[in-house]
């Protein structure tokens, strides 16, 4: 049997995080961690490297998700799906500069999210 794919959730809204966790667990993914601050992302990745990460862009009291991903890219190349409430051009441009990333805008459709994850993981 194929090993479960591991997903890291980076989200500072607890109920959104919980929602994502429930959906993904139901679909047979393993959740490597649920964190809300940049520092915790690095700790979690160090401890248990995921196959893919869902990354909220705005993070309270922390460097934002784009910056976190930029730092991650120095050592890791797992795919990152940005999840953002904003859809402005500056943000889009910033995310497009980072390799192996995708972007979804809130509110997220469960179906779209699962399809995207499946397609990203297939390419890996």
Partner 1 sequence: MNTSTYRILIDSSADSFVITRNGLIESVNPAALELFGTLEEADCIGKRLSDWIDTSMGKELTNKEEQSIYKAPTSLGRREFSVSRKDRASRIVDVQISVIQDKEDEVSLYVMREISNQDLFRKELDLQNKKLHELNATLNQAQKLSHVGSWKWNMATDEAEWSDEMYRIYGVTKENFYPSNKNVTKTVIPEDLPKLEKGVESLFKNQIFEPFEFRIKRPSGEIRNVYIIALELGEIGSENENIIFGVTQDITKQKQIEEDTLKAKISLGNIEKALNNAQKLAQIGSWLYNIESQKIEWSEETFHIWGFDPKHGAPDFKSMVERIHTDDRDLFLTYVNKAIHQGTPYEIEHRICLPNLDQKIVIAICQPVLDIQGEVVSLAGTSQDITELKKTEEKIRKSLKEKEILLRELYHRTKNNMQVISSMLSMRSLYSQNEEIKNLLDETKNKILGMALVHEKLYQSNDLSRINLKIYLIELVELLKNNLLIESANIVIVTAMEEVNANIDTAIPCGLIVNELFTNAVKHAFPDGRKGTIKIQMKKTERDEILISVTDDGIGFPDSIDLKNTESYGLEAIVMLSELQLGGSLELEKKEGTRFTLAFKETLNADRI
Q: Which of 2, 28, 47, 60 binds partner 1 (CB under 8 A)?
A: 60
Question: Could you say whether residue 118 binds partner 1 (CB under 8 A)?
Answer: no
Stretch that binds partner 1, among 11-19, 65-73, 74-82, 106-114 (CB under 8 A): 11-19
Site mask, partner 1, residues 75-104, x = CB under 8 A? Answer: ------------------------------
- Contact (Cβ atoms closer than 8 angstroms) between residue 1 and residue 13: no
- Is 45:69 a contact under the CB 8 Å cutoff? no
Stretch that binds partner 1, among 29-37, 80-88, 96-104, 107-115 (CB under 8 A): 29-37
Chain-centre distance of CA 52, in angstroms?
7
Contacts of residue 66, defined as CB under 8 A and 6 or more positions apart, other chains included, come to 57, 82, 91, 94, 95, 98
For residues 32 and 36, which CB has a smaller minimum distance to partner 1 in the complex? Answer: 36
Q: Give the residue among 45, 103, 54, 120 at the shortest CA–CA distance from 76.
A: 45
- Alpha helix locations (H) across 50-88? 65-72
* Contact residue for partner 1 among 6, 13, 76, 98 (CB under 8 A): 13
**Residue ranges in contact with partner 1 by CB under 8 A:** 11-15, 17-18, 22, 34-36, 60-61
């Amino acid at each position: 049997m194929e090993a479960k794919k591991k997903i890291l959730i980076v989200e500072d809204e607890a109920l959104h995080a919980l929602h994502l966790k429930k959906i993904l667990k139901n679909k047979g993914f393993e959740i490597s961690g649920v964190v809300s601050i940049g520092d915790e992302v690095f700790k979690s990745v160090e401890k248990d490297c995921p196959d893919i990460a869902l990354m909220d862009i705005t993070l309270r009291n922390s460097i934002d998700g784009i910056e976190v991903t930029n730092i991650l890219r120095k050592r890791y190349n797992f795919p990152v799906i940005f999840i953002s409430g904003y859809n402005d051009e500056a943000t889009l441009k910033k995310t497009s500069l980072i390799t192996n990333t995708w972007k979804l805008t809130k509110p997220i459709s469960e179906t779209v999210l699962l399809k995207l994850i499946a397609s990203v993981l297939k390419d890996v």
